[in-house]
Structure 1
Amino acid sequence: MAIVTFDSDAFLELYPRFAGILTKGQLQQAFDVACLLLDNSDNSDIPYEPDGTQERKTLLYLLVCHIATVTLWGNNNQAGPASSATEGSVSVSFAVPDAANASWFKLTPCGQMYLQATRKYVVGGRYSAVKHYHPWG
């Protein structure tokens, strides 16, 4: 299997809402972070063939979309999704999501899609982005 290389123009065709808002460098950084969460090596359990199965590319692009969306919240001095709002004397509070579980992925539609699409890899356990080899099992 091959590794996925990030094409910002192809990404922006799929997710035009980021065009003109995030630079190609910022999108590349989001892709690099996505590769920390989802193995993009030849040893990955998730298939990718440039002329065939595109599953890993699709998942990585969903992660980039999720990371980019969460990144844009910081532009508004917003720590996360609104958890409560009041109208009299205007007060809004934001929740900081727990990144240790699935609630972080549930913050955005792209994250929710990624979480659902990877369920087949995590049933009965936890997905490990990197395979660790131990000679005694």
Structure 2
Amino acid sequence: MSGSSIPPAAVTVPGVAVFDYAAWSALYPTLAQSVGAGQAQGYYDLACLYLDNTPTSLVRDLDRRAALLGLLVAHLASLGLPQEQGGAGGLVGRVAQATRGSVSVRTEFATLSERAAWFGQTQYGASFWAATRGLRQARYVPGLPQRPAIWP
């Protein structure tokens, strides 16, 4: 099968969400002006490090998983772009104070946990964090046998 003309990104695997640059750029036009398809695909690959994109992912619905991964792509792109290109502009955290005369801006993480603070740097990350709240809670599955971990 050497010499196949299908690029690896175009191969669909059951249970895996595939990145659609056209759909992503329609949702995030400001970012898409500065982030091309190749760069966005790179951010998508990174986003899959934060949210499992395999058939065993906690997010079973592929449309929902694709939307969450799209938010992560926007978050990563926003962190990487300068402010004049739609990015966060190097600011970390939420704006806590702004002044006009002599321009001063102060940001803070407030009382967010370390993980939440990283996502809270952009509107896209904050949206992702809010949308995945249920994934960060403990799950109890009744009826499953509990086996103690016995180490030899």
TM over 0.5: yes
Q: Which has the higher contact order (CA 8 A, sep 6+)?
A: 1
Which range moves more in the overlay, 78-87 or 19-28? 78-87
Which range moves more in the overlay, 56-65 or 87-96? 87-96
Q: Which residue of 1 aligns with 2:119?
A: 105
Larger radius of gyration: 2
Distance 1:17 1:122, change over 3 A: same
Aligned residues with identical type, % of pairs: 35
SS in structure 1 of the partner of residue 82 of structure 2: helix
For 2:134, which of 82, 98, 120 is the aligned residue? 120
**CA contact under 8 A between 1:27 and 1:68: conserved in structure 2?**
yes
Give structure 1 regions of 4+ aligned residues with deviation exceeding 3 angstroms.
73-76, 81-96
The TM-score with structure 2 as length reference comes to 0.64
Q: Distance in 1 between matches of 2:70 and 2:21?
A: 10
Q: Distance in 1 between matches of 2:126 and 2:77?
A: 14
Q: Which residue of 2 aligns with 1:62?
A: 71
Q: Which residue of 1 aligns with 2:10?
A: none
**Any unmatched runs of 5+ in structure 1?**
126-135
Per the TM alignment, residue 114 of structure 1 is displaced from its structure 2 partner at its CA by: 0.5
**Any unmatched runs of 5+ in structure 2?**
1-13, 140-148
What is the one-letter code of the residue matched to 2:76?
A: I
Q: Distance in 2 between matches of 1:55 and 1:99?
A: 25
Q: Distance in 2 between matches of 1:18 and 1:62?
A: 12
